[in-house]
Every structure is written in structure tokens, then in C-alpha cells.
A = this chain, B = another copy of it.
């Protein structure tokens, strides 16, 4: 099963993931990457973003707290990653909420990310299906959007990882549903952003980006479920989830990862 393969490869290869991500997510995304075995680097200055991308095993761009200089640097880092054939992941936070945000997301998406990681509302907004995104939370149900995600993946050539209560991962052809987790996970800020970072780390070590994205989603879901067993609320859930990422064994993944192929 690929979940274990990817987990082991991240731990062994410690991929360097350059993150150009929002301020809210920096702490948790870095800690999630470290716990999973990867090596995060938050590098965004125009003066070095592209050069650093020449060292990175993957690039991760997230528009949560975007501003023009950061967007410039995202484009520069993405271009450098593409040139070297390295994967990059786009997280189009709250695309659809404002005109600026939407145009930035569309322009970045045109650079064909290896994986687009978003909630259903964001996938719908990016697919042109109206401004369904309210703030950073989704208002559309994942179920409604599976077909949209598949079409977006097929049309764009990207893997789409549309996450929510259940995660839908598709490359336009294959579709997998990842279940599990804990229903309090949406109360942890930037956990979706952290998952995007984990997808980038997974793509860095596993060539099939569809499988890598499924593995990252499954790993987070198992870690969340494990943490949920003893969590009192969202903050202890966060602590337990990060701990779990570091200590989950291959056997834990075998027993608890819930991935269904629905292609």
C-alpha cells in the first residue's frame, strides 16, 4: 500500500520543502513537516526565492495572507521548481472571496501545480463555479463537488486533492476517497495548509503525485483519529496529531488508513 511507502520515504529522504505560505500556518506547517520527517524552509524574499527553489525538493505556495511581493516570489519559486522538474503544490486559500485573490489563484494555477489542495468551495470557485468560498471555510459539500474536481483535474493535468469531512483525490482518471480523522480537525487553524505542505513533501519522494497526495491525506487522517482518542478539544487535538505524525508506525497505517478507490 502506498501510504506506508510514502511515509517511509519521507522519513528516510527528509525532503526539503520550500514553503511560501501564509503567516497563520507557518508554525503548524513547519511542525507538521518536521514531525512527518521532512525538512521545512520558509523562504519568500524576491532576492532569494528562486535561488532557494534550486535547492528544494518541492515548492509549496499558499495564498492565505497573500500580498504582491509574496505572489511575485511564488511565481519565481514555482518557475524554478518547474524548470528542474520538481513538484509544487498550490493551496488557493479562500479563492473567490475577493477579486485580487481569485486572479492570483488563477494565475498560479495556470502554472500547473503538481497538486492542487483545497476545500470543496475553493475547488468550485477555482473551477469557475461561482463564488462558493466564504472566508477560509468551505460552504459547499464535498459530495457535490467530486465531479467538478475530476473535471478540473482532467482539464488542467493537475492532481486535485479536495479535502473535507472526506478527502477526494483525483487525477481526472483515478479517484480515491480518504476517510477518517476527527470531526474537530476543522477547529485547528491552518491544518489544511499543513496538509498541503505534507502533500508537497510526499510528492518530493514519490513520483506518482496522485498516490503521494492520497498518502498524505491518509497519514493526516490516521494521525487525527489517533489524536482524537484522547483529545479534550482542538488544542490538545493539535498536539496529539503532531505527536502522532512522528510516532505512527507502518502497522498503524496498515490498520487504520481508510482509502477507497472509486474510479
Contact = CB atoms under 8 A, between A and B. Distances in A.
Q: How large is the interface on A (under 10, 10 to 19, 20 to 34, 35 or more residues)?
A: 35 or more
Interface stretch (A29-37, A165-173, A255-263): A29-37
A24 B18 CA distance: 13
B65 A135 contact: no
* Most B Cβ at <10 Å: residue of A27, A66, A233: A233
Most central of A47, A134, A247 by chain B CB within 10 Å: A47
Contact of A52 (B22, B41, B46, B97): B97
A44 B259 CA distance: 38
B136 A52 contact: no
Interface string A85-105: 000000000100111110000
A135 B16 contact: yes
A235 interface: yes
A34 to B, nearest CB: 5
A51 B135 contact: no
B45 A67 contact: yes
A127 interface: no
A142 interface: no
Contacts of A235: 31, 35, 238-243
B188 A100 contact: no
A112 interface: no
A193 B97 CA distance: 25
Residue among A39, A45, A137, A244 facing the most chain B CB atoms (10 A cut-off)? A45
Contacts of A22: 42
A201 to B, nearest CB: 13
Nearest to A63: B45
A28 interface: yes
Contacts of A43: 65, 94, 97-98
A143 interface: no
Nearest to A101: B48
A31 B242 contact: no
Nearest to A57: B135
A48 to B, nearest CB: 4
A40 interface: yes
A132 to B, nearest CB: 13
